[in-house]
Amino acid sequence: MIATDETPLLRARGLKKSFGHLEALREGNLIVNRREVVAIVGDNGAGKSTFISCIAGAIKPDAGEVFLNGNPLELGSIHAAMRAGIATVYQDLAMAPDLSVAENIFLSTEIRRRGIAGRLGLIDHKAMRARASALMDELGITTLGDVTATAGSLSGGQRQVVAVARAVSRAGELIILDEPTAALGAKQSQIVLDTIHAMRERGFGVVLISHDLPRVLDIADRIVVMRFGRVVAEVAPKGQTVRHIVSLMLGEQSAAEESAGS
Amino acid sequence: MTLSNVKTDSEPAQESSRPKPAEQRSGPWSALLGSSALRSTTFYVACAVIALALIFALLTSGNFLSTPNLQSIGRNSAGLMLLAVGLAFVLGAGHIDLSVGSTLVLASVVSAKVTVALSGSGGAGWAITIGAICGVLTGAGMGLLNGVLVTRLRINSFVVTLGTMGVGIGLAQVITNGSNVIGLPTVIQRNFGVANWFSIPLPLLLALVVSLIGAGVLTQTAFGRHTLATGSSETGSRRAGVKVDRTTIGVFLMAGTAAGLAGFLDITRFGTTAISGHETTMLQALSAVIIGGTSLFGGRASVLGAMIATFISTVLLAGFVMIGVSSFYQRIAIGVVLIIAVWVDRVRQARANTT
Ligand SMILES: Nc1ncnc2c1ncn2[C@@H]1O[C@H](COP(=O)(O)OP(=O)(O)OP(=O)(O)O)[C@@H](O)[C@H]1O
Ligand SMILES: [Mg+2]
């Protein structure tokens, strides 16, 4: 497929994933364009995390395909997704609690020392600390004391902020955030939402999973609703109410529509 | 990206009040020691070793600190230290390797057999070198086998290495028919096993050099970070892009290789193998690693701590022998120290999780 202006940044088609008998993801379809924030909403257990994990390579789907800029993405490979420019904030944050904040931010992308030392695999702790600190300052994150603290010693919210910072620093084209503000106070939430906004302005595609529907209505360009492992609706936030979205999530609206239609 | 618009007026002050990354004194030693918690553990362990030595010195009116005795302790510690360093990586990655003692024995047998077979035809130096290489490769092979079994078959490392522990010692007995290999060239002892360099036993010197390289790998390389990350959270590390399987195979390979080298050191000491003399070696090494500050639950490891803690068991044994206490008490003492060390680790872990 040739990438044209109309080629979406991301196209996921027919993704399916079962855990034993449980069909966690029955039909995952998603299109994300550049400069676009797509929100995925759905009740607990609707399959949102499973869906984005299939796109990010953390889970290998049983069926389906993913294209980035029209090119097929190797499924089930975190490295392929990372190389293609996808960065992800997982719901569980994917941190190593015993490592420091700086080490977590650069986990698997460590800064090497210059010259022979670097070629021998030696890493530059000092540069990593300095850059991690600078990253926090750039994002305006104020909740964090010290980038040498271990991730395990942080509060849930602080850890979440670190995970967001890491994904922002790694993203090439697409950033996926699975409930990135769940544990955050008002101020740090705002920082994350501003960051999402800024990334979109810079041309990134953003996938945001959130249960905070008022915020979703505020920030998303499109809202994708999932129910029982399926994408069941896609709506533009303009003119939408939280109530209507909730009814879509729970299936009440469609039932009402169906009965009205028949 | 600049998001300065997010900041309010009060914030520049906050920004400057954030402690900048600690400008630690980065001498080579403090760099190898790792975090401050591990530094203090290493310090306490070193104090314990010195205290033990001083107590035995008092009880033996100074004889304990004689050069020959200290050298003997050093020679006894060399192989154990290598095992401990390898285990520090394995435990740091959240696994365990029960097979290192067996691997040591198997490697010593292979090494001895090869040396004996070759020393008839050519020079002894040649034969010993090839024997040493074969021993190290045997260890590496066992380590690789462990790593591949753990990552490919997804079997718990406790079970895998319990199995290969039996395989290793069994193979050693099959190869030798149960009797120790004799007839090794005597230069293996004279020129290496019992030789010294400026009073330092050569085997200990070799173990120290290898171990310090190990300390550097753990604290200064990406592989070292990935080892601890894997032990800290396997899923998290994988999702952050760490090649978890490669790292896991790597740590088992290191432990096996170190055990292989220790197996070679073993035959240079007495000029023969000691097939049934290593039943408690693995437990001694494991105790040293844990006492030295490595977490049994992964994520934290200290090579330097393990190195120093190695001396606890060798000093205890030498001391007990000198003051006429049965060496059986050494095992009891190590057992008690091990339990205390694990308990201290638990307490430390609990405290770290609540702050
Ligand atoms: N690794 C797994 N093994 C077995 N079942 C799983 C696994 N991961 C998810 N599931 C199941 O799949 C279903 C979908 O889970 P998923 O985490 O995708 O939901 P979600 O929409 O992200 O929910 P939440 O809003 O609570 O995060 C759930 O029923 C969950 O129990
Ligand atoms: Mg989820």
Q: What is the pLDDT of residue A11?
A: 96
Are A107 and B229 a contacting pair at CB < 8 A? Answer: yes
Question: Does the structure show a pLDDT above 60 at A70?
Answer: yes
- Determine contact: B331 vs chain A, CB below 8 A: no
Q: What is the pLDDT of residue B220?
A: 95
Q: What is the pLDDT of residue A145?
A: 78
- Tell me how crowded residue A162 is: count the other CB atoms within 10 A of its CB: 27
Ligand 1 atom index nearest CA of A20: 4
**Is residue B285 very low, low, confident or very high in pLDDT (cuts 50, 70, 90)?**
very high
**Is residue B14 very low, low, confident or very high in pLDDT (cuts 50, 70, 90)?**
very low
Tokens of B217: 């790998």
> Dihedral of CA B129/B135/B139/B142: which sign?
positive
Q: What is the pLDDT of residue B65?
A: 94
Question: Does the structure show a pLDDT above 90 at B80?
Answer: yes
* Chain A residues touching residue B5 (CB < 8 angstroms): 194
DSSP conformational letter for A55: H
Q: Which CATH architecture has domain B31-354?
A: Orthogonal Bundle (1.10)
Q: Report the candidate in A71, A81, A76, A64 with the shortest Cα–Cα distance to residue A30.
A: A64
d(CA A226, CA A237): 15
Are A133 and B21 a contacting pair at CB < 8 A? Answer: yes
Residue of A86, A108, A120, A193 to mutate when probing chain B, most B C-beta within 10 A: A108
**Is residue B178 very low, low, confident or very high in pLDDT (cuts 50, 70, 90)?**
confident
pLDDT 10s digits, B119-167: 876 678 888 999 999 999 999 999 999 999 999 999 999 999 999 999 9
d(CA B140, CA B265): 15
Is the CB of residue A17 less than 8 Å from the CB of residue A24? Answer: yes
**Is residue A258 very low, low, confident or very high in pLDDT (cuts 50, 70, 90)?**
very low
Q: Give chain B's length.
A: 355
Tokens of B44: 């306490």
Question: Does the structure show a pLDDT above 80 at B37?
Answer: no
Question: In angstroms, what is the span from residue A215 Cα to ligand 1's centroid?
Answer: 23
Ligand with the closest atom to the CA of A24: 1
Domains and CATH numbers, chain A: 10-261 (3.40.50.300)
Q: What is the pLDDT of residue A5?
A: 62
Q: Report the candidate in B74, B70, B78, B127 with the shortest Cα–Cα distance to residue B104.
A: B78
| Mean pLDDT, residues A220-236 | 94
Q: What is the pLDDT of residue A207?
A: 97
Tokens of B49: 């070793």
Helix (H) or strand (E) holding A169, with range, is: helix A156-170
Question: In angstroms, what is the span from residue A48 Cα to ligand 2's centroid?
Answer: 5
Question: Does the structure show a pLDDT above 80 at A238?
Answer: yes
Average pLDDT over chain A reads 90
Tokens of B97: 């390797």
Q: What is the pLDDT of residue A122?
A: 94
Question: In angstroms, what is the span from residue A212 Cα to ligand 2's centroid?
Answer: 13
Question: Does the structure show a pLDDT above 60 at A4?
Answer: no
- Determine contact: A194 vs chain B, CB below 8 A: yes
Ordered by start, the domain boundaries in chain B are: 31-354
Q: What is the pLDDT of residue B122?
A: 67
pLDDT 10s digits, A94-148: 999 999 999 999 999 999 999 888 888 899 999 999 999 999 998 888 778 789 9
> Dihedral of CA B126/B129/B135/B141: which sign?
negative
SS3 per residue for B27-41: CHHHHHHCCHHHHHH
* Chain B residues touching residue A123 (CB < 8 angstroms): 220-222, 225
Residues 21-50 of A with CB under 8 A from B: none
Q: What is the pLDDT of residue B16?
A: 38
pLDDT 10s digits, B243-256: 999 999 999 999 99
Give me the amino acid identity at B220.
Answer: Q
Best of A18, A50, A59, A224 to mutate for ligand 1, by most ligand atoms within 8 A of CB? A50
| Pairing between β-strand A36-42 and β-strand A205-209 as defined by DSSP bridges | parallel
Buried b (16+ CB within 10 A) or exposed e, A65-103: ebbbbeeebebeebeebbebbbbbbbbebbbbbbbbbbb
Q: Report the candidate in A15, A9, A5, A84 with the shortest Cα–Cα distance to residue A47.
A: A15
**Is residue B267 very low, low, confident or very high in pLDDT (cuts 50, 70, 90)?**
very high
**Is residue B10 very low, low, confident or very high in pLDDT (cuts 50, 70, 90)?**
very low
* Residue B270, CA atoms < 13 Å, CB-side half-sphere: 12
Least confident window among A168-177, B52-61, B180-189: B180-189
Least CA distance to A134: which residue of chain B? Answer: B20
- Determine contact: A62 vs chain B, CB below 8 A: no
Around ion ligand 2, which residues have CB less than 5 A away? Answer: A 49, 91
Q: What is the pLDDT of residue B182?
A: 87
Give me the amino acid identity at B75.
Answer: R
Q: What is the pLDDT of residue B11?
A: 36
Question: Does the structure show a pLDDT above 60 at A189?
Answer: yes
Average pLDDT over chain B reads 87
Question: Does the structure show a pLDDT above 90 at B342?
Answer: no
Question: Does the structure show a pLDDT above 90 at B8?
Answer: no
Q: What is the pLDDT of residue B35?
A: 66
Is the CB of residue A1 less than 8 Å from the CB of residue A71? Answer: yes
Residues 6+ apart with CB under 8 A from A198: B1, B3
Q: What is the pLDDT of residue B23?
A: 41
Question: Does the structure show a pLDDT above 60 at B96?
Answer: yes
Q: How far is A52 from chain B (nearest CA, A)?
A: 13
Best of A49, A89, A92 to mutate for ligand 1, by most ligand atoms within 8 A of CB? A49
Tokens of B344: 């201290």
Are A96 and B299 a contacting pair at CB < 8 A? Answer: yes
Are B228 and A96 a contacting pair at CB < 8 A? Answer: yes
Q: What is the pLDDT of residue B352?
A: 62
- Tell me how crowded residue B53 is: count the other CB atoms within 10 A of its CB: 19
Size of interface A-B (CB pairs under 8 A): 132
Q: What is the pLDDT of residue B139?
A: 98
Q: Report the candidate in A76, A81, A58, A60 with the shortest Cα–Cα distance to residue A10.
A: A81
- Determine contact: A108 vs chain B, CB below 8 A: yes
Ligand 1 atom index nearest CA of A226: 21
- Determine contact: A178 vs chain B, CB below 8 A: no
- Tell me how crowded residue A231 is: count the other CB atoms within 10 A of its CB: 22
**Which residue, by CA, sits nearest to atom 5 of ligand 1?**
A19
Least confident window among A214-228, B3-17, B272-286: B3-17
Best of A16, A17, A22 to mutate for ligand 1, by most ligand atoms within 8 A of CB? A22
Are A98 and B300 a contacting pair at CB < 8 A? Answer: yes
Least confident window among A71-80, B149-158, B174-183: B174-183
